Structures are given as structure tokens and as C-alpha cells.
């Protein structure tokens, strides 16, 4: 009987370790445009125009904010382990620049070397007003609201 119990415990421990190990395996994810490198390489400056680029690659991820002649196709692969924040492992930004007539002027491809890690500040933004405690926020307006009745005056004593 003890041999059977020991084997059950070992099997349970092995299954538990496998489940814990599976939870810590790296996860991969894709964000953005699914870039086909062969189609992107087929774009030729002076030959293609806006319509042919849209037929070949589809609509861009975004258009340049200051210059509508730039189309961007952004593709990113990310990895993360367990509950960590995802980190980019591979990135491709395809920039298609058009001339004034709408023909492809230039095609540029950049990678992960231009990705920047932005760390926002933890400091508080100063605001106008007074610093009130939690209790002052809750109970500070008691009696300050109008009940809908007129305030007594000399002409109307109520």
C-alpha cells in the first residue's frame, strides 16, 4: 500500500512541477502589420504609386502626421516571461515616401535599433487649490449645499 501511495505522490509532484514550469514559459505575441518581406521588396521607386502600394501591402498602419506623403507599416514581435511586461524582440518599420504626383519616391526599412524605452516620471503634477485630506474631501461639503429653498431675508422671514 505504501508503494502505491509513494508512486501517487511522485506522480502528483511531477504533474505540479510541469504545470508550474508551463506557467513560466516565454510567451510570444505579434503587434501591428503582418509584413510580407517579399511583397515589401517588390516596391520600386518611380514605378509604383499610391494605388499599387495599397493593392500590394494594404492600408498603412498610419500616415505621416505632418506630411501626408509618408506611409508607415509597423510590425513588432514581443516576448514576455510569466507576468513581466512584454519586450520587443523584433521590429520592422517600413516607410514608403511618395512624391507630389503620388509615385513612390523612396522605400526605407528600419528595425529594432530605433525602438526607444520610455520611462514616465513618477512625480505628481502640481495643481491649483488646497491639499485636503481624505476625510476633508468626504465631509468638507456637508452643510455647504443648497436645499432648494430660498435663504431667509428681511422681506421674507419664513
List, for residues 87-123, the tens digit of each pLDDT value.
Answer: 888 899 999 999 999 999 999 999 888 777 777 777 7
pTM: 0.60
Q: Which of 96, 92, 95 is nearest to 114 (CA)?
A: 92
- CA dihedral angle for residue 125, residue 126, residue 129, residue 135, rounded to 10 degrees: 60
Out of 74-78, 96-100, 124-128, 131-135, which region has the weakest mean confidence (pLDDT)?
124-128
Measured distance CA(7)–CA(108) in Å, rounded: 61
Q: Which of 109, 49, 104, 98 is nearest to 75 (CA)?
A: 109
Higher pLDDT, 64 or 147: 64
CB 61 within 8 A of CB 35: no
Domain ranges of the chain: 24-115
Higher pLDDT, 64 or 10: 64
Average pLDDT over residues 71-97: 88
Amino acid at each position: 500500500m505504501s508503494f502505491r501511495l509513494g508512486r501517487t505522490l511522485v506522480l502528483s509532484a511531477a504533474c505540479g512541477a510541469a504545470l508550474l514550469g508551463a506557467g513560466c514559459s516565454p510567451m510570444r505575441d505579434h503587434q501591428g502589420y503582418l509584413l510580407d518581406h517579399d511583397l515589401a521588396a517588390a516596391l520600386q521607386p518611380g514605378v509604383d504609386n499610391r494605388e499599387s502600394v495599397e493593392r500590394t501591402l494594404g492600408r498603412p498602419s498610419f500616415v505621416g502626421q505632418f506630411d501626408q506623403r509618408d506611409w508607415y507599416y509597423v510590425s513588432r514581435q514581443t516576448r514576455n516571461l510569466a507576468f513581466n511586461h512584454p519586450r520587443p524582440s523584433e521590429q520592422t518599420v517600413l516607410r514608403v515616401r511618395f512624391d507630389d504626383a503620388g509615385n513612390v519616391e523612396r522605400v526605407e526599412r528600419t528595425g529594432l535599433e530605433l525602438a526607444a524605452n520610455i520611462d514616465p516620471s513618477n512625480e505628481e503634477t502640481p495643481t491649483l487649490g488646497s491639499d485636503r485630506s481624505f476625510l476633508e474631501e468626504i465631509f468638507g461639503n456637508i452643510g455647504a449645499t443648497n436645499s432648494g429653498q430660498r435663504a431667509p431675508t428681511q422681506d421674507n422671514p419664513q
